Amino acid sequence: MSLMYCHERNLAVSPQGGNTGMVGGSTPVFDEIIVSTALMNQIVSFHNVSGVLVCQAGCVLEELSRYVEERGFVVPLDLGAKGSCHIGGNVATNAGGLRFLRYGSLRGTVLGLEVVLADGTILNCLTSLRKDNTGYDLKQLFIGSEGTLGVITAVSILCPPKPSAVNVAFLGCPGFAEVLQTFCTCRGMLGEILSAFEFMDAECMKLVGLHLRLACPVQESPFYVLIETSGSRAGHDAEKLSGFLEQVLGSGLVTDGTLATDQRRIKMLWALRERITEALSRDGYVYKYDLSLPLDRLYDLVSDLRARLGLHAKHVVGYGHLGDGNLHLNVTAEAFSPSLLGTLEPYVYEWTARQRGSVSAEHGLGFKKKDVLGYSKPPEALQLMQQLKALLDPKGILNPYKTLPTRT
């Protein structure tokens, strides 16, 4: 079914990739037609000097990873849902993930896009150029717009060379202040080889143990940190890493740690962090928050809520991409409760706005978070977003009820 057909008949559509989003961005609300990218799953080209991959929107992230890794490159994006998410959906939601610290946002690594506009016009901006300063960078409008301005059908993405030496350290820290100090020490001592700095609290570890039977690889601690290094000379990286570990263990910032250099153990340590979401979903109803906060206040909100909620919540957990200033705050309960929701919201959003943080660091707004946009953007920005929507989708057929706040 073409978009032109839908446009002529005023039929609303919900573009959908792997349907792995966290905010209901790809699920229809009423009677929207699902436009799936599943059959658009071809790799168009890969250039083995520049590392530029051009592919259709429905390619599964993990399959793309495998394809470029066989050729000595990596996709600059990695996330827990890699086995089913589609690259088109990743770009449409500007997914962050686990490699953000090293390779930055898709806003930098996506070089070009092909997009079908609301009336069916095909906008071919599928360039593979690193530099192209010819006026407005239109692709940026579609990256992160969650299918509300156009449907991404193909992407051109810059893949960096595959690092030949990867190490993962999993550490236990006695407090959040020590986690932050470990991060500072790590940045100073590991420098350019640091490729991920993730953290999780003791509650997360308890849940992955309870629901997924994953064992904690170090002594029990209030906080855990996963550090990944990616470099080009194993000996050099190992030397740097051992110097760093000696320092953090010696100074008491870290109480226990384990190191992995082989693929199997690296995967096992990453699973503890990547599968937290899965463990949470087995714990009951989950209230999810994905926030950008200043690093020194990042965990205060978790402790604060744990005290506020007391026995009303089953678990209050904090984890996330510490190196990117991104906290995942999740609260579980036996079942959904309006009173628990009332204690959480708007409290969490007001708290975040006071820190000038973001109410959606990487998951987008979709259906669930669209009405909290105002906590992170001024009214003038909201108005301009509405104007852009009206310009690109005057009939409002593209992913309605998503991203933009409900008009009152």
Ligand X SMILES: O=C(O)CC[C@@H](O)C(=O)O
> Which residues of this chain interact with ligand X, rule CB under 6 A?
22, 80, 276-277, 288, 290, 328, 330
**Measured in whole angstroms, how far is the alpha carbon of residue 266 from the centre of its chain?**
20
Measured from the CB atom, the residue of 22 and 248 that comes closer to ligand X is 22
Nearest distance in Å: CB 98, ligand X: 7
**Measured in whole angstroms, how far is the alpha carbon of residue 175 from the centre of its chain?**
25
Nearest distance in Å: CB 96, ligand X: 7
Q: In angstroms, what CA-CA distances link 298 with 159, 179, 291, 293, 369?
A: 31, 11, 9, 5, 20
Structure tokens at 144: 């992160």
Measured from the CB atom, the residue of 228 and 393 that comes closer to ligand X is 228
Measured from the CB atom, the residue of 16 and 330 that comes closer to ligand X is 330
Q: How far apart are CA 243 and CA 247, in angstroms?
A: 6
Measured from the CB atom, the residue of 22 and 157 that comes closer to ligand X is 22
Question: Exposed, middle or buried, 314 (CB in 10 Å: 0-12/13-18/19+)?
Answer: middle
Nearest distance in Å: CB 361, ligand X: 9
Measured from the CB atom, the residue of 113 and 329 that comes closer to ligand X is 329
Under a CB-based contact definition with an 8 Å cutoff, are residues 190 and 241 in contact? yes
Measured from the CB atom, the residue of 277 and 337 that comes closer to ligand X is 277
Q: Which residues contact 242 (CB under 8 A, 6 or more apart)?
A: none
Measured from the CB atom, the residue of 174 and 325 that comes closer to ligand X is 325
Return the closest-CA partner of residue 322 out of 171, 109, 215, 216: 171
Q: How far apart are CA 252 and CA 250, in angstroms?
A: 6
Q: Identify the helix (H) or strand (E) that includes residue 55.
A: strand 52-56
For residue 374, the number of C-alpha atoms closer than 13 Å in the C-beta half-sphere is 8
Report the residue closest to ligand X, judged by CB: 277
Under a CB-based contact definition with an 8 Å cutoff, are residues 35 and 115 in contact? no
Nearest distance in Å: CB 75, ligand X: 17
Nearest distance in Å: CB 223, ligand X: 16
Measured from the CB atom, the residue of 57 and 329 that comes closer to ligand X is 329
Measured from the CB atom, the residue of 328 and 389 that comes closer to ligand X is 328
Only one residue has tokens 């933009």, namely 404
Nearest distance in Å: CB 267, ligand X: 16
Query: From the CB of residue 48, how many other CB atoms can be counted at a distance below 10 Å?
Result: 11
Sign of the C-alpha dihedral computed for residues 402, 405, 407 and 408 taken in this order: positive
Return the closest-CA partner of residue 344 out of 373, 316, 375, 368: 316
Nearest distance in Å: CB 290, ligand X: 6
Nearest distance in Å: CB 282, ligand X: 12
Nearest distance in Å: CB 325, ligand X: 13
